[in-house]
Amino acid sequence: MPDITVHHADDHADDVAASFRRDGAAIIANLVSAETMDALTADLPFDDKTKVGNEFIGGSDNRSIGAVLHANPEICETLLLNERVLEVADRILRPEEPMAASSTPVRRAESQFVSSDDGCKQVLSVDVPPEAGPTCHHYRVGASVSLQAREGGAVQILHREMGIYEPFVPHHPGSRDLIFNVMWAGTDFTAENGATRLVPGSHRWPAERIANESEVVQAVMPKGSVLFWHCRSLHGLAASRSAARRTGIFHSCVVDWLAQEENQYLAFPPEDAARLSVRARQLLGYRASSYCGWVKGRDSEDLLAEGLSGPLELKERSKNVDAAA
């Protein structure tokens, strides 16, 4: 039975991505220091009565915080923008505009224009196989949550992240990867304190296959480590049998053309997002391609700034750049 491969912090992103594709999950151990993680999680309001858990995360003994990136914006600059995480995300989500400095853009084929025998012109629609071409122009945060497993909580039902988009996006093992899931260990993740349960290999299963308990493994990792799992991998919280609380900081990255699970424009409104770095704003969603999400009079790379955005205006920008060159 496959397990979750644990990588070192200096392992190449290609190796981490290979483990991820093969097993549907991968861990990088000790990617940030324990002291950094302590500082980022110190003031998260788990005891706020409005933040209590629900049956989906193992009952009210457990806790959850939505919009955790907004709860502590330093998480954006430190964890969301971690270069190694972005390198792996770029390799899985295959964007035209990658986020990591070392990543190579994935280029789409040029549009093809055809004419009928009697001269009627159109743009030709093309079908690109999953392993070819980009999956998106860019990606952005789908949801940001912090989960705290406490003694007395129950095992969470196994589920897939892509399930929220079904049947609109059907379950097709082997199709493009549309979501990249990230869970940081805010504390040590142990078998006793409810470390995340995963079913390695289940990202390749047909929808009707049911997991057995013997196929479930736990993502045991030290504080400061990070777990990645596939959008079609079965996973869920484990029940905690320990008085030591287990804290995880989760965010997903979704392709730019797929609706965000958590509305980041309300979770992290413009006046607050403006205080972040441009790269952090881009990952929250304040960015556009020339096809989706544009606003006239706003910069496509930073929608909080004035500039050019949209198909026609971006063509004008390209013309001006060519003339200047």
Tell me, yes or no, whether 119 lies in a domain: no
Same domain, 306 and 275: no
Q: What confidence score (pLDDT) does residue 30 get? A: 98
Tell me, yes or no, whether 256 lies in a domain: yes
Tell me, yes or no, whether 113 lies in a domain: no
Same domain, 20 and 98: yes
CB atoms within 10 A of CB 228: 25
Closest CA to 270 of 290, 287, 251: 287
Same domain, 300 and 180: no
Residues of the chain falling short of pLDDT 70 = 1, 49-54, 60, 313-325
Q: What confidence score (pLDDT) does residue 317 get? A: 55
Q: Look up the CATH number of the domain holding residue 203.
A: 2.60.120.620
Tell me, yes or no, whether 170 lies in a domain: yes
Same domain, 166 and 95: yes
The two three-digit tokens of residue 317, written as one number: 């920008």
Tell me, yes or no, whether 110 lies in a domain: no
CA quadruple 51, 56, 57, 58: dihedral positive or negative? positive
Q: What confidence score (pLDDT) does residue 56 get? A: 75
Q: What confidence score (pLDDT) does residue 53 get? A: 58
Same domain, 196 and 50: yes
Same domain, 224 and 319: no
Same domain, 15 and 87: yes
Same domain, 202 and 315: no
Tell me, yes or no, whether 25 lies in a domain: yes
> Residue 24 to residues 19, 197, 211: CA-CA distances in angstroms?
8, 12, 14
The two three-digit tokens of residue 271, written as one number: 């006046």
Could you read off the pLDDT of 155-180 as tens digits, one per residue?
999 999 999 999 999 999 989 999 99
Same domain, 69 and 166: yes
Same domain, 219 and 314: no
Same domain, 195 and 178: yes
Question: What share of the chain in percent tops pLDDT 70?
Answer: 93
**Burial degree of 109 (CB within 10 A; 0-12, 13-18, 19+):** exposed
Domain, as residue range, for 299: 290-325
Q: What confidence score (pLDDT) does residue 321 get? A: 45
Give me the number of domains the chain comprises. Answer: 2
Same domain, 50 and 198: yes
Tell me, yes or no, whether 94 lies in a domain: yes
Bridge partners for 230 per DSSP = 180
What is the rounded distance in angstroms from the CA atom of residue 135 to the CA atom of residue 232?
16
Could you read off the pLDDT of 275-288 as tens digits, one per residue?
999 999 999 999 99
